[in-house]
Amino acid sequence: MNTDIRMKGFIKRHDIDEVLEIIENRIKPLDIEKISFEQALQRVAAENIIAEENVPSFNRAAMDGYAVRAEDTFGASFSNPLNFELIGELTAGRQPVKPISKQKAIRIMTGAELPVGADAVVMVEDAEESVNEVKIFNAVTPGKNVSRIGEDIKIGDIVIQKGTVLRPQHIGVLASLQVSRIKVYKQPRIAVIVTGEEIISPGEKKAKGQIIDSNSYILTNMIKEHHAIAVVKGHVPDDKGKITKLVKSCTEDIIILTGGTSVGKKDLVPIIISELGEVVVHGIAMRPASPTGFGFVQSRPVFFLVGNPAGAMIAFDSFVVPTIKKMMGLSQTLLGHYRKQKFILSRKVASQIGRTDFVRVKKTEKGVLPIRVSGANILTSMTRADGILIVPKNKEGFNANEWVEVNLF
C-alpha cells in the first residue's frame, strides 16, 4: 500500500469474517500479572486454581436440629416418637467436646461442627424438646441434613479454570480458599486518537464549521465497559507530521484512530500507518463503517475507524472488542458480547449480497422497527435504537414479519 491509493479507492475490500480471522491469528494474549482477589472482578484467570483444602473443612449441620446417630432414629414416626437424652448444645464456630453415643442427642445450629459419633441431624420441626430430653418423630438416614467435609470443594479440585472470566462467585471461592492473589491477563491499554481539522473539545467555543469531539468520550466509555483501560491522546488536525509523531509515541497495547480513514486527499491515517508499519486491512464489506482499517505499528494493532460516531461504534464492537478479548485470553464472535433476543421485524430491510449490514432497530409493541438513517453520520441512530440487527453477507435482507435475532444494547 502506498500513497497512490489517494483519491482512487480501496485496493481490496475484506469480508468481516476475514478480518476476524486475522485478529484471531495475529493477536496474542497479553502478559500475566498477579493481583489481589479483591480486585479480580471481570478479569480473566491466567492459571487454574486448585483447592488446597476442603470446603467445608469439617462435617457440619445443614439445618437447625438435633445431632444423632441415624440408626438410633430408625422406626421413629409421629405415632411412635423415640426418646433421646439431650446432652448439650452446639452453635456454629464452637468446637464440639462431647461425643454422641447410643440414643443421645445434641441440639445443633446450622453451620456447627457435628460431634464425634453423630452422622445425621433431625430437623427442629421433627422433634419436641423437654428438659434433658428430646422426642424424635421422624427417622433420618446417615448424612441427612449434614454438609460433609469437602461437599462444596474437595482438595485437588480445579475450582477455577484458566480462561474463566471472574465473576462474584469466583471471588467468593477465592475468599473461601484463602487464595489472596490470582494470576490474570493484563488489561489492554488503548490509546484513542481523534483526527480532524474541524474537531474541538466539548469545553471549547465553537466556530461555524467546527464539530465537537464525541468519539473520544464514546470510545473511552466503550473501552471501560469491556474492562480495558482507555488512554485519551486528544485530537490532532489532519497533519501528517503531527499524526505520525503521536502514533509513534504511543506505548499502549492497542491504538485507535478515528477520522481520516477514507481515500480522500486528507485521509492520511492509512498512509501514515503503512509508512510506520503495515496496513493489513483497509476497506471492509460492511455498512456502515466500510472505510475501517486495521494494521500494525511495531507489533501493536492499530485500528483506524471512521470519524462518524455511529460507524466508529459499530467498527469498535466488531473488531476492537474481539481484539480486547483475545488479549485478555478470551475468544469472541461478532457482537458476541450482546444479549440476543428474537423479535418480529416490522418493516423490510434490504441489503446487498456480499456486504454485512448493521441495522439499528427500535423495539415497538409489535416487534422491532429498523431506524431509517440517511447517513452513517447519525449518532442518534445509536441512542434511538434498542439494538442492532445484522444482515449477514449472504442475505439480501429480511422480509417484514420475519423473526430476526437482535443484539440488544
Question: Least distance from C-beta 22 to its own copies, angstroms?
Answer: 25
* Complex with its own copies: residue 153 or 297, whichever CB lies closer: 153
- Least separation in angstroms between residue 212's CB and its own copies is 5
Cell of 116: 464425634
Among 15, 33, 64, 252, binds its own copies (CB under 8 A): 64
Q: Which is nearer to its own copies, 296 or 338 (CB)?
A: 338
Give the binding-site size for its own copies (rule: CB under 8 A).
96
Using the rule CB under 8 A, is 131 a contact of its own copies? no
* 142-161: contacts with its own copies (CB under 8 A): 147, 151-153, 157, 159-160
C-alpha 54/C-alpha 360 separation (Å) is: 51
Give the residue with the Cβ less far from its own copies, 156 or 375.
Answer: 375
By rule CB under 8 A, what string of x and - marks binding of each residue 194-233 to its own copies? --xxxx--xx--xxxxxxxxxxxxxxxxx-xx--------
Which residues from 295-324 bind its own copies, rule CB under 8 A?
307, 309-310, 313
Applying CB under 8 A, does 52 fall inside the site for its own copies? no
Our CB check for its own copies shows the closer of 280 and 308 to be: 308
CB crowding 87-122: b at 16 or more within 10 Å, else e: beebeeeeebeeebeeebbbbbbeebbbbebbbbbb
Site for its own copies contains 383 (CB under 8 A): yes
In the list 170, 186, 282, 325, the residue contacting its own copies (rule: CB under 8 A) is 170
Touching its own copies, residues 1-40 (CB under 8 A):
7, 9, 37-38
